[in-house]
Amino acid sequence: MKINNIAKNTSYFTFALILQKIISFTYFAVIARALGPVDLGRYYFAISFTTIFAILIDFGLANTLTREVARDNKRSQELASLVLAIKIPLIFIVFGIVILLINLLGYEVLTRNLVYLAGLCMILDSLTLTFFSIIRGFHNLIYESVSSVIFQLIVFCTGLYFLHIGLGPVYLMGAMVVASAYMCLYSGWLLVRKFKIKLVPLYNFKLIKSLVVITIPFSLYAIFQKIYTYLDTVLLSVLAGDVYVGLYQIAFKIIFAIQFLPLAFVASLYPAFSSYWASNRLQLALSFERAMSYLIIISLPIAVGIATIADKLVVVFREGFNDAVIPLQIIMLSLIFIFLNYPIGSLLNACDKQMVNTKIMGITFLVSIFLNLLLIPAFNVIGASVTVVVTNLLMFILGIREVPKIINYDKQKILTIFVKSFASAILMVIFILFVKSTVNIFVIIVLAGLIYFSVLYFLGGFKRNDLVSIVHSFKK
């Protein structure tokens, strides 16, 4: 694959990711204001509930499919047919389990209907994932990048129309089904027309077994990661009630929207990590130090800034979300660890430590279940928020302990950046507290950012060359 193709794919993917996050978060703000905490909680419970089961359909096959097709494009038809042979029975089995469980849990009709529709999305999205995983194997992210933005626009426009004519959460979930159907049909059409791959299952059990065996390392991590991400929402609904799910989603969606920053950053770094691991260990260490330093500089002001203006930020959604302020402030404490876990995880994967990553995610997953079961019954959404902070801190500690086994990096340099960034953030917070009651929230955000980066530059936290380096890393 040519370097300019890598750069083009990364650029399209990053730009599409940013657009997705903007559209998705705007849509979330709109439906949060329209639905209120209870119905918003039901809506996102249905999505979270089915998303957990979605991993039982994919089972980590997407990563394996992309890797194997990339290694040998001639096997793309065989691999596509084998994966379809695995997924088609799983779709019926898993959808049946979803229907059975949601009825056994005793939820009201509205929630059950939302789960049924979310289950359709689960099926369509799983097929879409398979189709685009094959296309990724041909080193093409352009179609996926463009269609993912169109998906969000379909959800946004259809959802707004349903709200405008006075329809409720079931129809909003219907908007998701429409968008998922588009993605599934479009990606399937691309495979057939552009890549000449027939969507026909191949029931060769010997080949299926060999494919499943090489998928296991990917599937374990995927299962842990998916359940870890969405189980807290499900447990909140079961143990505390839908209103707390709605409150929790404010913080969850803000964190989710902000994550495009480390995602885009690491997308450009991961190929470099892999290359340096094979050819230049010193440069690998320097790249890791820079990644950690830059993400500290970015995450600290966002975390403390949002925590400081949380009361004004929550009002943007609706008055009924006032109780989301404290959970949002607590969860913001985890942001720096969430950001830093990206380069740590990428380093481990790039340096053939995938099983270490899987073990870390497995431990974090088990601790998350324990803490949620312990804290949610007593403290509802506050307990779930504390769990997010503790588990992300745990993931960071377990991951950073593995880094010295791979590279010899300058810990003092990263710590110095943290201290300077923290000092700058404190001055920024003082400014915010001083003007918060009299100045518009959006003006505060701009001025606070200018103060933070000005102070950090004065303290030597970054230099002009660092800005050039960041821009250059994305161009790569």
List the structure tokens of 108.
């009201």
Whether residue 414 is predicted with pLDDT greater than 80 in this model: the reply is yes
Which of the pair, 256 or 335, is modelled with greater confidence? Answer: 335
Instruction: Please state, in angstroms and rounded to a whole number, the distance separating the CA atoms of residues 385 and 336.
Output: 15
Whether residue 475 is predicted with pLDDT greater than 60 in this model: the reply is no
Q: What angle do CA 300, 387, 433 make, to 5 degrees?
A: 35
Instruction: Please state, in angstroms and rounded to a whole number, the distance separating the CA atoms of residues 258 and 58.
Output: 26
List the structure tokens of 106.
């005793």
Q: What is the mean pLDDT of residues 403-429?
A: 93
Find the helix packing angle between 242-258 and 325-332, rounded to 10°.
40
Name the burial class of residue 327, with classes exposed (0-12), middle (13-18) and buried (19+) by CB atoms within 10 angstroms of its CB.
Answer: buried
Q: Give whole-number Cα distances, 138 to 6, 132, 134, 147, 443, in Å.
A: 12, 10, 7, 17, 45
Q: What is the mean pLDDT of residues 174-189?
A: 96
pLDDT in tens, 49-103: 999 999 889 887 887 787 788 777 888 899 899 999 999 999 999 999 999 999 9
Q: Which of 162, 169, 131 is nearest to 147 (CA)?
A: 131
Q: What is the mean pLDDT of residues 269-273?
A: 70
pLDDT of residue 1: 43
Q: What is the mean pLDDT of residues 367-396?
A: 95
Q: What percent of the chain has pLDDT over 90?
A: 53
pLDDT in tens, 432-469: 999 988 888 889 999 999 999 999 988 887 777 766 65
Is the Cβ–Cβ distance between 317 and 40 less than 8 Å?
no
Whether residue 277 is predicted with pLDDT greater than 60 in this model: the reply is yes
Q: Which of 31, 23, 21, 24 is nearest to 246 (CA)?
A: 31
pLDDT in tens, 248-257: 988 888 888 8
pLDDT of residue 350: 76
Whether residue 150 is predicted with pLDDT greater than 70 in this model: the reply is yes
pLDDT of residue 316: 79
Q: For residue 143, how many other CB atoms are within 10 A of its CB?
A: 19
State pTM to two decimals: 0.83
Q: Name the pLDDT band for 14 (thresholds 50, 70, 90).
A: confident
Across the chain, mean pLDDT equals 88
